[in-house]
Homo-oligomer: A and B are copies of this chain.
């Protein structure tokens, strides 16, 4: 197949693995960003345990030694199967003989897109930096209010969604708040901090076994997180949210509830499931097109029981490798063995020295699971330097609770620009609530 052109849409786990496994072929890897993001650690950037540069690598650097891979930073606006090319926003169409569609997913608000302004999600580095600064500014504001008045309402963070992201966010937020932020904010008492994890279903971490879900919830409660189960969010506003009949005041809501596959997929004109994923064949192709593959969270790939595989990195990586092999072998549809996902287990941290692990019949929780989690994740990280850095960050953080990444700069810039606009001293920070609303103006403007 080396003479044919393989186009890969998306530099996530699936697309990246496919490109790396397609030695010899002529590959074009298209991504709207210039980096591969190690998404499983994104929540650590959001809680300022790691810096953006620790979990992202420029795609061009990764493929510098792979002359067969051409990297294009651009947006794919549509896929034309008849013309066998993809249309890009800023460049000419790129034709393909083989196409791997791995654009990933965004968070979904189940039709309530207006909620995003008050309850941002966590998918990209920009999302993480945005959440980090929002959280840090909330602490600064609470400290100021306390200093001025001696009182002030509790600082309430609400995380919507009890999956791994929600649990990991709630857990490390509780730690940063209670252990790291505590000593730095003399006017804040620990019980000023109120962290709530809201899950619509009957338990957190639904992908795990019920006993591990219960353990995770118990650990969160011990860390001071209020876990609300069977609680559906009916409305989210700038000043709070409705859960069941109850209104909870909070200007710090994080959305970790739902995903929706990239809108790009609709241009394939094929049946999609409720999350917008393409229903793929056993060999991850689309119907009647043996050389167009859909992988990762964009694919609805049924497991032997008929339920779709989860949108997690290991699935995407294995699918990327599988598809690369088919392409290298050039096997006809008839001769292809279907994709089978090898479940090496699932891991989720609940913060410092606490995690749950489910490997086949083995169930781990607590420190052992956390150590396993650390080892697995550190060694999954692509670049050696970063591996060392992340490891040293973690050890340092574990020993000292001093997140090196706890800096605010984007919002301070907005504030000072705004100050300059108003002809005031450029030395300025506006109330975090202002900053948030300004950020919304900015969203509309940009």
Whether B33 and A263, one on each chain, are in contact in the complex, defined by CB atoms closer than 8 angstroms, is no
A35 interface contact, C-beta 8 A = yes
Contacts of A374-428 to chain B: CB distance below 8 A: 383, 385-386, 388-389, 392, 396, 402, 404-410, 412-419, 421, 424-428
Whether A58 and B184, one on each chain, are in contact in the complex, defined by CB atoms closer than 8 angstroms, is yes
Whether A263 and B424, one on each chain, are in contact in the complex, defined by CB atoms closer than 8 angstroms, is yes
A446 interface contact, C-beta 8 A = yes
The number of chain A residues touching the other chain, given as a range, is 35 or more
Which residue of B has the minimal Cβ distance to A140? Answer: B73
Q: By CB atoms of chain B within 10 A, which of A383, A412, A415 has the most? A: A412
Distance in angstroms from A43 CB to nearest chain B CB is 16
Contacts of A1-48 to chain B: CB distance below 8 A: 10, 32-35
CA A446 to CA B413, docked complex, whole Å: 10
A64 interface contact, C-beta 8 A = yes
Contacts of A77 in B (CB 8 A): 424-425, 428
Distance in angstroms from A432 CB to nearest chain B CB is 9
Contacts of A421 in B (CB 8 A): 443-444, 446
Binary CB contact string for chain A from 36 to 67 against chain B (1 if under 8 A, 0 otherwise): 00000000000000011110111011001000
Whether B444 and A90, one on each chain, are in contact in the complex, defined by CB atoms closer than 8 angstroms, is no
Distance in angstroms from A25 CB to nearest chain B CB is 17
CA A10 to CA B438, docked complex, whole Å: 25
CA A34 to CA B403, docked complex, whole Å: 13
CA A424 to CA B76, docked complex, whole Å: 11
Q: By CB atoms of chain B within 10 A, which of A33, A263, A402 has the most? A: A33
Whether A141 and B90, one on each chain, are in contact in the complex, defined by CB atoms closer than 8 angstroms, is yes
A192 interface contact, C-beta 8 A = no
Which residue of B has the minimal Cβ distance to A427? Answer: B32
A186 interface contact, C-beta 8 A = yes
A430 interface contact, C-beta 8 A = yes
Contacts of A51 in B (CB 8 A): 51-54
Contacts of A429 in B (CB 8 A): 32-33, 73-75, 89-90
Stoichiometry, as copies per complex, reads 2
Q: Which of B35, B106, B262, B389 contacts A407 (CB 8 A)?
A: B35
A238 interface contact, C-beta 8 A = no
Distance in angstroms from A416 CB to nearest chain B CB is 7
Binding site for B on A (CB under 8 A): 10, 32-35, 51-54, 56-58, 60-61, 64, 70-77, 89-92, 103-104, 106, 124-127, 129-130, 136, 140-141, 143-144, 147-148, 183-186, 262-264, 383, 385-386, 388-389, 392, 396, 402, 404-410, 412-419, 421, 424-431, 438-439, 441-446
Q: A32-B415, A51-B53 are in contact. List 8 more A-B contacts (CB 8 A).
A: A33-B429, A58-B407, A60-B184, A75-B419, A104-B427, A124-B413, A125-B409, A262-B425
**What are some 23 contacts across the A-B interface (CB < 8 A)?**
A33-B409, A51-B52, A53-B405, A53-B407, A57-B404, A58-B406, A60-B184, A75-B415, A75-B419, A75-B429, A89-B430, A90-B429, A92-B148, A262-B425, A263-B427, A264-B425, A385-B392, A386-B404, A389-B389, A389-B392, A389-B404, A421-B443, A442-B442
